[in-house]
């Protein structure tokens, strides 16, 4: 055991002192911000330039109502910074300043003229709300920005509200009554466990799951490469004269795992300490990051790392070059990648059969079970069974991979075949 800790200490200090450790400690949070928050900000806040639209309608009253709704949308978004809108309002795309004209000429010739102006970019869009189109419940919107799904959905929402107002006004309702009838009702999901803002919960849990995925993936591969480097440089032969192969493998796994935990501890300190300069969201984050959730994070991180680093250690002992390692690396990490691919389904339905079996299968359980625990706490027996299955798998893989490791680290030349691997397991 003493030799194991000596090897673990060497692996830990060797990696923590490198520049790559500092770079990755800063780069991974930046990457997480880039794939979660930044795209949403760009989609919702981008494209705020002036737009010129034309409303073509058979009746001037209908066209005027649509223009009023579009102008109100533009004015409402222009006042957003000073009115502190709700989360759902902030997630809407910024439309920009709108200039809306009304045209009651619904002839085909006029349609062709306006369409040509859109092609020449003299107009940003034309909405054809003719009687036939309204009767068919299908209004044409001619625009060059057909890919602006979020912006066009805002125009559609304003169009629907204008038509509803027109219908209610024709039934004799006053403007105040129409405003009251069309006033939206907010639906605020509340977790029975008392968790706070669902959107903040989602982004926090998603970030933690991705950190779990990236660190297990990154440091598992580091174990494999460290073994491969020492094997190709023949340092392994010298180390085997003072320590057993199983002690070396355990030391490398413990040392690299400690590096990952150090990195996670740094990120946690940045988020949780008020002096970190992120006080705006700290109250929400602290409400979500309970001691229980952090404890589960550490449990599933350690078990996931033990599973994949053990497999990576066996791969590093088997192969003789970086190219061979990369080929087998994808096979080893395939279950973890599959877990990320089914995450969306698990988020939408944490109690589905797919989520259940994904959280019980040892190679996907570190991500899927943690995700279920964070979003909707599953029955205790499922959590206990998942952890028990992972512990049994870790024990079995350590026993199996240690036998491969014991022989493989001294084997040079061609990559071993499956029958040769079976011989290593039997005779090691």
What pLDDT, in 10s, does the model give residues 82-112? 344 444 444 555 666 778 888 888 888 888 9
Which range in 145-154, 289-298, 329-338 is most confidently predicted, on average pLDDT? 329-338
Give the model's pLDDT for residue 95.
Answer: 65
Token representation of residue 148: 């602006």
Which range in 7-21, 218-232, 387-401 is most confidently predicted, on average pLDDT? 387-401
Token representation of residue 117: 């102006």
Q: Beta-strand (E) ranges in 276-374?
A: none
Q: Is residue 401 predicted with pLDDT exceeding 60?
A: yes
Give the model's pLDDT for residue 88.
Answer: 46
CB 409 within 8 A of CB 317: yes
Give the model's pLDDT for residue 92.
Answer: 57
384: confidence class by pLDDT, cuts 50, 70, 90: very high
Q: What is the pLDDT of residues 124-158, one digit of tens each?
A: 888 888 888 888 888 888 888 776 766 777 788 88
More confident residue, 272 or 309: 309
Looking at domain 47-182, which of 1.10.357, 1.10.730, 3.40.190, 1.20.120 is its CATH number?
3.40.190
Q: 270-279: list long-range contacts, CB under 8 Å, 24+ apart.
A: 270/29
Which range in 37-51, 270-284, 315-329, 348-362 is most confidently predicted, on average pLDDT? 348-362
Mean pLDDT of the chain: 75
Q: Is the pTM of this model over 0.85?
A: no
Q: Is residue 159 predicted with pLDDT exceeding 90?
A: no
Give the integer Cα–Cα distance in Å for 118 and 113.
9
Domain locations in the chain as residue ranges: 2-38+198-427, 47-182
In what side-by-side order are the strands of the sheet with 125-129?
98-103, 51-57, 125-129, 140-142
Q: Is residue 266 predicted with pLDDT exceeding 60?
A: yes
More confident residue, 107 or 318: 107
């Amino acid at each position: 055991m003493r030799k194991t800790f000596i090897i673990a200490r060497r692996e830990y200090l060797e990696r923590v002192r490198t520049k790559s450790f500092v770079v990755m400690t800063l780069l991974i949070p930046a990457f997480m911000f880039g794939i979660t928050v930044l795209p949403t900000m760009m989609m919702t806040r981008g494209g705020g330039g002036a737009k010129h639209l034309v409303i073509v309608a058979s009746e001037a009253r209908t066209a005027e109502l649509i223009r009023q709704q579009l102008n109100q949308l533009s004015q409402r978004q222009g006042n957003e910074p000073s009115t502190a809108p709700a989360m759902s309002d902030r997630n809407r795309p910024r439309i920009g300043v709108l200039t809306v004209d009304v045209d009651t000429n619904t002839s085909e010739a006029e349609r062709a003229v306006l369409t040509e102006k859109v092609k020449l970019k003299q107009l940003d869009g034309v909405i054809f709300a003719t009687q036939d189109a309204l009767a068919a419940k299908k209004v044409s919107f001619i625009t060059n920005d057909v890919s602006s799904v979020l912006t066009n959905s805002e125009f559609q929402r304003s169009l629907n509200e204008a038509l509803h107002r027109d219908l209610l006004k024709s039934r004799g309702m006053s403007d105040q009554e129409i405003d009251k009838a069309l006033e939206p009702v907010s639906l605020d999901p509340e977790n029975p466990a008392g968790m706070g803002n669902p959107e903040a919960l989602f982004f926090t849990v998603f970030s933690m799951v991705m950190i779990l995925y990236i660190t297990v993936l990154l440091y598992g591969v580091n174990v494999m490469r460290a073994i491969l480097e020492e094997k190709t440089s023949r340092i392994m032969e010298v180390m085997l004269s003072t320590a057993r192969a199983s002690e070396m493998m355990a030391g490398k796994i413990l040392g690299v795992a400690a590096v990952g935990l150090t990195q996670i501890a740094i990120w946690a300190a940045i988020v949780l300490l008020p002096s970190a300069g992120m006080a705006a969201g700290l109250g929400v984050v602290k409400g979500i990051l309970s001691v229980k959730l952090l404890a589960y994070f550490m449990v599933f991180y350690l078990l996931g790392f033990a599973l994949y680093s053990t497999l990576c250690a066996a791969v590093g002992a088997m192969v003789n070059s970086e190219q061979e390692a990369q080929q087998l690396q994808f096979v080893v990490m395939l279950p973890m990648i599959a877990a990320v691919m089914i995450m969306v389904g698990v988020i939408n339905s944490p109690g589905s059969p797919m989520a259940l079996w994904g959280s019980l299968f040892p190679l996907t359980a570190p991500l899927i079970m943690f995700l279920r625990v964070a979003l909707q706490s599953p029955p205790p027996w499922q959590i206990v069974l998942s952890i028990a299955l992972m512990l049994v798998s870790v024990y079995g893989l350590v026993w199996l991979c240690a036998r491969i490791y014991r022989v493989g680290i001294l084997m040079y030349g061609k990559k071993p075949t499956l029958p040769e691997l079976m011989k290593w397991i039997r005779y090691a």
